[in-house]
């Protein structure tokens, strides 16, 4: 009778290791599917070839690959620096550890002259939006630049937050 009243354990939430394993499993399965498709495609292309032809093609491939590998090994011992592989270091960007907000705040310094130009442009846009003849021009500007009013408001807010500091 005790087994009826026992609490059932909740399924545990997948941890980072389980998620990582699941992603790796999906990648392996995708590679296996790709290999299977490639093998089927190659099988269809070579099913009409005889066994001797397949062996001849295999030998040609082995000799070409082996010859090229031997050539590369021989070139490495000659000491000719012109044909060797070069390793270039990867340069880490300076802003890699900053968040998007911190990086954008440093670069967004708006001068008073730029702010005045924004105010004049906003006034111009408001005036053509109110006039019946300018309404078509206003609509065409908004069609080509749909985020323009939002950008203007954002620039004004940034400038106002700069002046408060």
Quick check: is 83 in a domain? no
Q: Region 48-52: what's the mean pLDDT?
A: 94
Cα–Cα distance, 63 to 71 (Å, whole number): 12
Q: What local confidence, expressed as pLDDT, does residue 3 receive?
A: 61
- Domain span at residue 43? 15-47
Percentage of the chain beyond pLDDT 90 is 38
Quick check: is 2 in a domain? no
Quick check: is 58 in a domain? yes
Quick check: is 92 in a domain? no
Quick check: is 21 in a domain? yes
Higher pLDDT pick, 75 / 53:
53
Domain count of the fold of the chain: 3
Whole-structure pTM value:
0.36
Quick check: is 114 in a domain? yes
Q: Which tens digit of pLDDT belongs to each residue from 91-101?
A: 887 777 766 66
144 within 8 A of 150, measured Cβ to Cβ: no
95 within 8 A of 139, measured Cβ to Cβ: no
Q: Region 115-125: what's the mean pLDDT?
A: 91
Residue 27 has pLDDT above 90, yes or no: yes
């Amino acid at each position: 009778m005790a087994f009826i009243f026992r609490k059932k354990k909740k399924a545990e939430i997948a941890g980072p290791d389980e998620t990582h394993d699941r992603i790796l499993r999906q990648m392996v399965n995708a590679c296996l599917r790709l290999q299977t498709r490639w093998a089927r495609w190659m099988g269809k292309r070579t099913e009409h070839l005889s066994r001797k032809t397949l062996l001849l093609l295999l030998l040609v491939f082995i000799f070409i690959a082996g010859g090229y590998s031997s050539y590369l090994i021989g070139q490495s011992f000659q000491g000719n620096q012109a044909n060797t592989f070069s390793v270039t270091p990867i340069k880490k960007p300076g802003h890699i550890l900053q968040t998007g907000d911190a990086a954008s705040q440093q670069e967004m310094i708006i001068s008073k002259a730029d702010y005045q130009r924004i105010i004049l442009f906003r006034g111009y846009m408001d005036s053509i939006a109110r006039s019946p003849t300018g309404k078509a021009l206003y609509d065409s500007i908004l069609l080509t630049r749909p985020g323009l009013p939002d950008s203007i408001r954002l620039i004004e807010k940034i400038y106002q937050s700069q002046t408060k500091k």
